[in-house]
Structure 1
Amino acid sequence: MSPPLIQPPRDTAAHDITQGYSIEITARDVAALQAAAPLIPPRTIVAITFLPGEDAQARIAATRAVRLLGFVPMPHFSARRLTSDEDFAGFLKRLVDEAGVRRCFIVAGDPPEPAGPFPDTSALIATGAFEQAGVRTVGLAGHPEGHPHMSDAQCLQVLQEKCAAITARGMKPVIVTQFGFDADPFLRWIEILRARGIDAPVRIGVPGPAGIKTLMRFAARCGVGASASVLAKYGISITKLIGTAGPDRMLEALTRQLGPQHGEVQLHFYPFGGLEKTVAWIADYQARP
């Protein structure tokens, strides 16, 4: 008779994958952030999006509020929405002067044609404005499930070049991915990054708890893979699109499978179901035995 299998002791340090998480807000979420602040650890990174319906003053005010609450602001810059060099420089200067910004996140933006001189994020990096302003970390978008306008090979090459350019300018790159419903594509993609020598920290995009229809709507809008089998792994049935779903299963899978080969990995929450609800869910998850 074979001896019973003995499970190795659980690594409690690895269990709480939510430690050191970052979270995303819009300029309209300041009141919700203030309400949720007691549940958010000090120095948590809070990203402030660059939405077309919000003006620069609202984004700056939100960034300042993040700093005053004791968190680390990471404002977004949408390259194709910046109308001029002066628009970019002025926005960056106010963020640094008024909110002590040292960490920024850059995206190309949705418009097919740029409103000014910046067609992509590489153009923003090349100005030298970030390091001259004292920015120390620049965030880049990662696309584990593919990019709508580039092949996987092109996407990886561009990401590698941007990481190298940021490092060469004396700053630190960090990669924040799109959200997803399945741990496996994230883990495979991170292994590919490491094999290519891209060792920048990665923050895996996680949707906060939300209504199932809301999650499906954001998934469709963002081009995120959401097949029936993937959704089933996440705890969603396409035959019963009612109720809410949280990322419990996905975080459990990440906890089991993340290893030294993946390098530095943390989470970035997209609170589609509401900021306060997401923060409360994280606090509850951290309190579980």
Structure 2
Amino acid sequence: MHRTATLLEDLSVEITARDTATLVAHAGDLPAGTRVSVTHLGTEGAPERREAAAAAARAELVPVPHLAARRLGSESELRDALDGLRAHDAHERLFVVGGDPRTPAGPYASALDVIRSGLLAEAGVAEVGITGYPEGHPAIADEALWAALRDKTAAIADQGLTASVTTQFSFDADAVVAWIERARALGIAAPIRVGVPGPAGVRRLVAFARRCGVGTSAGIARKYGFSLTSLVGTAGPDRFVEELTSRLEDAHGEVRLHLYTFGTLAATIDWARAAREAAVPAERP
């Protein structure tokens, strides 16, 4: 199979609960079985997140609800969240993050704390997603990030669960490839989903990048397809995907795309469909 088609195969998209109606309206444009991550925002409640996950499941997509460790106020809140997802058949694949609050609301200060609680396996979770940071984290040292990645994948394996890694979005294919190579060299064999922004306004992309500590030098921005001196228009991930495709080899293991929608779910789904259609003829003689 052509490498671009392989990269686009089994891609995933990320939504908030606010995107539920758009997801339902456009679900037919996504292949059955597409993974739909539902973020854990402080501005949205558990019922809304559960409904978003349930809507994905009803549309023959695969829900991947997020749990933000530092937003969980107690063990009982975690149990309730897991029970609610199980009642909606949305519990088999979860994504566990630390979360934004500086001070934990309860006993879980990190994603590792949630994983080590044992409650995920007890609730019937089969796969646990965790985060990777190709360009680092603005508040966490690189070696601490690598140690956390090793510890989380080990803790997941110790409980007989499957791990997957989804990276923070990036505009820099060089940084992403180098990060994948280091992960593999450290023995982390889990599938990696490379985070990329779907088509979005340049001003919005730059704002999210600065908030997340993602590099936006003039050279990187130009390679991605926009200018830092004129924050107008829309940029899509085409150039990034093309460059990433050209760099990936069998030694990089299983690599797929994860699309951050940033409020542009419909446009992102349209882009994904067009990219898949464009990639398929390339594998034919």
C-alpha distance in structure 1 between counterparts of 2:75 and 2:4, whole Å? 46
Report the counterpart of residue 15 of structure 1 in structure 2. Answer: 4
- Equivalent residues, number: 278
C-alpha distance in structure 2 between counterparts of 1:93 and 1:13, whole Å? 41
SS at match of 2:125: coil
Q: Which amino acid aligns with 2:145?
A: C
Q: Which amino acid aligns with 1:145?
A: E
After superposition, give the CA deviation of every residue in 1:67-118 in whole Å (9 maximum; x if it has no partner).
Answer: 1111111000011111111111001111012224200001111111111111
C-alpha distance in structure 1 between counterparts of 2:127 and 2:79, whole Å? 17
C-alpha distance in structure 2 between counterparts of 1:154 and 1:111, whole Å? 18
SS at match of 1:99: coil
Report the counterpart of residue 190 of structure 1 in structure 2. Answer: 180
Report the counterpart of residue 217 of structure 2 in structure 1. Answer: 227
Cα contact 2:3–2:245 (8 A) shared by 1: yes
After superposition, give the CA deviation of every residue in 1:32-67 in whole Å (9 maximum; x if it has no partner).
Answer: 001111110001110000001001111111111111
Shift of 1:223: 1.1
In the alignment, is residue 238 of structure 1 matched against residue 228 of structure 2?
Answer: yes
Q: 1:72 aligns with which of 62, 65, 75?
A: 62
Cα contact 1:106–1:139 (8 A) shared by 2: yes
C-alpha distance in structure 2 between counterparts of 1:54 and 1:61, whole Å? 11
Cα contact 1:209–1:273 (8 A) shared by 2: no
Cα contact 1:211–1:242 (8 A) shared by 2: yes
| Higher gyration radius (CA) | 1
Cα contact 1:83–1:116 (8 A) shared by 2: yes
Over the aligned positions, Cα root-mean-square deviation in angstroms equals: 1.1
Q: How does 1:1-289 map to 2 (within 5 A)?
A: 12-16=1-5, 17-272=7-262, 274-288=264-278, 289=281
TM-score computed with the length of structure 2 as normaliser? 0.95
C-alpha distance in structure 2 between counterparts of 1:66 and 1:74, whole Å? 9
TM-score computed with the length of structure 1 as normaliser? 0.94
Q: Which amino acid aligns with 2:140?
A: M
SS at match of 2:88: helix
Cα contact 1:208–1:273 (8 A) shared by 2: no
Shift of 1:286: 1.6
SS at match of 2:60: coil
Shift of 1:273: 5.0
C-alpha distance in structure 1 between counterparts of 2:33 and 2:200, whole Å? 25
Identity across matched positions, percent:
45
Runs of 4+ with deviation above 3 angstroms: none
C-alpha distance in structure 2 between counterparts of 1:161 and 1:230, whole Å? 32
SS at match of 2:2: helix
Cα contact 1:211–1:273 (8 A) shared by 2: no
Q: Which amino acid aligns with 1:14?
A: R
C-alpha distance in structure 2 between counterparts of 1:220 and 1:273, whole Å? 17
C-alpha distance in structure 2 between counterparts of 1:28 and 1:99, whole Å? 20
